[in-house]
């Protein structure tokens, strides 16, 4: 496959989010000169007529579909209808409009939660639809599975070179640190930061601490997105990860060390653990010539610096800060 034309109009859907923001930064650094973005206030991707008008007007040649309703285990388990409905509408609207106006290359970003709860580890791409999902995020997973199948259907029916990528757990600058909607790593970072500030004797972490998770820095994912757009053209989704994992207990200790918290860590076993292990097989991506570069501790340290800087910026503007 040929490299993408750096002057081609390229739409990054969801550029204000963790993933979309990283993709936008990377494309700029790689010399893309005609990047198109819209905030959710400017363009509600759940509104089909608005999406059609946007694609008719802008006519992008390349699309990265990073827009989604996302959240951690608490948000997913308490608001499943929103996660299913919003994500389905975003995907259907963008994918249909892209195909209709002739978008040349499109990358759909799914999630590793699409795989069965008890899939063989590490999880290969062909594990999709071979078993039951994790109940705490099954609505979100079903929506993302529908996106993968939609991409495959567009390829079969219209011969479009659209592809799907399935990233593992992500983190990095721009993450969501909200106590209700955050994923595990930024949630731990905020909790330990507040505990260090307040001198709390202990911090409670949900679950037993035994589940294992893989964590990919979002800047590595952004590199992978462009690599796939330029080097991959097949219907099967591609896993994007680092190929190694840590237990939640190990992650908690690492975050506490980076933050400087020296108190006790307690695990609340009454809270759900989620999937026991979720490690992706990334051999397909490695065969395409791509590997992750950012070590976990280095990435956490960078993310924590960003978090502290964002708090300081908010305080300077008179915005109440959590830590």
The token pair at 80 is 């499943």
Query: What value does the mean pLDDT take over residues 44-52?
Result: 98
Query: What value does the mean pLDDT take over residues 236-257?
Result: 97
Query: Above 90 in pLDDT, residue 276?
Result: no
- For residues 79 and 207, give the distance between their C-alpha atoms in angstroms, rounded to a whole number: 20
The set of residues, in sequence order, having a beta carbon less than 8 Å from that of 287 and lying 6+ positions away, is none
Query: Above 80 in pLDDT, residue 314?
Result: no
Query: What value does the mean pLDDT take over residues 289-295?
Result: 97
Query: Above 70 in pLDDT, residue 319?
Result: no
**Cis before residue 122, ω within 30 degrees of 0?**
yes
Q: pLDDT digits over 99-141, tens only?
A: 999 999 999 999 999 999 999 999 999 999 999 998 988 999 9
Phi, psi at residue 131, to the nearest 5°?
-170, 180
Half-sphere exposure of 211 (CA within 13 A, CB side): 21
User: Which entry of 11, 115, 118, 140 is annotated as an active-site residue?
Assistant: 140
- For residues 272 and 73, give the distance between their C-alpha atoms in angstroms, rounded to a whole number: 8
- The mean pLDDT of the chain is 94
The token pair at 64 is 């990265």
The reply, when asked if residue 43 is annotated as ligand binding, is no
The reply, when asked if residue 111 is annotated as ligand binding, is yes
- Please choose, from the candidates 205, 201, 202, the residue with its C-alpha nearest in 3D space to the C-alpha of residue 213: 205
Q: How confident is the model at residue 315 (pLDDT cuts 50, 70, 90)?
A: low
The token pair at 213 is 């998770």
Report the pLDDT value the prediction gives residue 161, as an integer from 0 to 100.
Answer: 97
Phi, psi at residue 190, to the nearest 5°?
-65, -45
Chain centroid, CA 138 distance in Å: 16
The residue ranking higher by pLDDT, 225 or 310, is 225
Strand-strand pairing, 162-167 and 105-109: parallel
The residue ranking higher by pLDDT, 10 or 2, is 10
Q: pLDDT digits over 211-221, tens only?
A: 999 999 999 99
Percent of the chain with pLDDT over 70: 96
The residue ranking higher by pLDDT, 179 or 27, is 27
Report the pLDDT value the prediction gives residue 323, as an integer from 0 to 100.
Answer: 43
Q: What is the DSSP string of 241-256?
A: S-S--EEHHHHHHHHH
In angstroms, what CA-CA distances link 108 with 43, 58, 228, 246, 297? 18, 19, 11, 27, 28
CATH 3.30.70.270 given to domain 10-176+215-244+278-295: no
The reply, when asked if residue 278 is annotated as ligand binding, is no
Query: Above 50 in pLDDT, residue 149?
Result: yes
The total of other beta-carbon atoms located within 10 Å of residue 266's CB is 13
The reply, when asked if residue 322 is annotated as ligand binding, is no
The token pair at 267 is 């695990």
The reply, when asked if residue 14 is annotated as ligand binding, is yes
Query: Above 90 in pLDDT, residue 70?
Result: no
- For residues 308 and 197, give the distance between their C-alpha atoms in angstroms, rounded to a whole number: 12
Q: pLDDT digits over 219-240, tens only?
A: 999 999 999 999 999 999 999 9
Query: Above 60 in pLDDT, residue 255?
Result: yes
Q: How confident is the model at residue 180 (pLDDT cuts 50, 70, 90)?
A: low
> Would residue 171 show up in a list of annotated catalytic residues for this protein?
no
The reply, when asked if residue 202 is annotated as ligand binding, is no
């Amino acid at each position: 496959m040929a490299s993408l034309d750096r002057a081609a109009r390229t739409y990054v859907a969801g550029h204000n989010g963790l993933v979309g923001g990283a993709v936008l930064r990377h494309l700029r650094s790689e010399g893309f000169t005609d990047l198109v973005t819209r905030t959710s206030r400017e363009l509600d991707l759940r509104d089909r007529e608005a999406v059609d008008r946007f694609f008719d007007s802008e006519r992008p040649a390349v699309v990265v579909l990073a827009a989604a309703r996302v959240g951690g285990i608490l948000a997913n388990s308490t608001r499943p209808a929103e996660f299913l409905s919003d994500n389905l509408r975003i995907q259907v609207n963008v994918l249909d409009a892209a195909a209709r106006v002739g978008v040349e290359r499109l990358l759909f970003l799914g999630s590793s939660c699409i795989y069965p709860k008890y899939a063989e580890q590490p999880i290969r791409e062909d594990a999709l639809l071979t078993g039951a999902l994790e109940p705490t995020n099954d609505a979100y997973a079903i929506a993302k599975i529908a996106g993968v199948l939609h991409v495959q259907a567009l390829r079969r029916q219209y011969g479009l070179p659209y592809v799907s990528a399935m990233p593992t757990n992500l983190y990095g600058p721009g993450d969501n640190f909200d106590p209700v909607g955050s994923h595990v790593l930024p949630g731990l970072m905020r909790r330990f930061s507040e505990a260090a500030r307040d001198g709390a004797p202990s911090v409670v972490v949900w679950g037993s601490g035994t589940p294992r998770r893989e964590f990919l820095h979002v800047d590595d994912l952004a590199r992978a997105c462009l690599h796939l757009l330029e080097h991959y053209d097949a219907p099967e989704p591609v896993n994007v990860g680092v190929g190694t994992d840590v237990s939640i207990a190990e992650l908690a200790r690492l975050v506490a060390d980076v933050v400087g918290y020296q108190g006790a860590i307690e695990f609340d076993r009454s809270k759900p653990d989620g999937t026991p292990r979720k490690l992706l097989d990334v051999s397909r991506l490695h065969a395409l010539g791509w590997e992750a570069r950012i070590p976990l501790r280095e990435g956490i340290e960078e993310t924590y610096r960003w978090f502290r800087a964002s708090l300081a910026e908010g305080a300077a503007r008179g915005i109440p800060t959590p830590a």
